[in-house]
Structure 1
Amino acid sequence: MHAGCESLFTEDEVEQAADEGFDCVSCQPYVVKPVVPVAPPELVPVKVKEPEPQFFRFEGVWLTETGMAVLRNLTMSPLHKRRQRRGRLGLPGEAGLEGSEPSDA
């Protein structure tokens, strides 16, 4: 008997268990269960509060964060600015266009 593994030994126990929705573990692959359609959950729109832009006051003028960054870059002291690289000096034996003078021959 299939229900022996579930400790159901008499016909009455098996019938009562079947009435309560019992499915035998051994028979489950052969029992087709009805498919109940599940309604998709409702999507609730979420309101997202965007961050308020930060404003700065500079010499009586209100500036956005971007405007303040531009002013900082313009007024940055020369010590903080990147220095431009100077070209390498030519190695001995190399003739460069800048340092060479036409020779009178």
Structure 2
Amino acid sequence: IGVHTVREPSSLAMSSRNGYLTSEQRNQASQLNNTLQDIVNLVNSGANDYPKLEQQAKTTLIQQGWLVDYISIRSSLTLAPAKDTDSQLVVLGAAKLANTRLIDNIEFLR
């Protein structure tokens, strides 16, 4: 059963892992959520080449110094890779900033 993610004012998902971040890294950490939100906005604007969106997001984070485990657009009902016919989606991300692995997700309707 999913619940809403509790977030800090910067949009960073609250987690005990955040304690490992320096103050500079904490400022940078919101980039993960911002990148996922960019995907949501693009999909809601009509973009549907999900692998391309995922790769662009990965590239953006890597250029900002992240080590990306995954960025993935999925059906929020089944967690199978998203298809054009899916209307309930989730974009998931996991990436390391320095030595801290952060995870985040955004569920949305298309």
TM range (shorter): under 0.3
- Greater relative contact order (Cα 8 A, min sep 6): structure 1 or 2? 2
Based on CA coordinates, which of the two structures has the bigger radius of gyration? 1
The structure where helix makes up a greater share of residues is 2
The structure where strand makes up a greater share of residues is 2
Please, what TM-score do these two structures have when normalized by structure 1?
0.18
Please, what TM-score do these two structures have when normalized by structure 2?
0.17
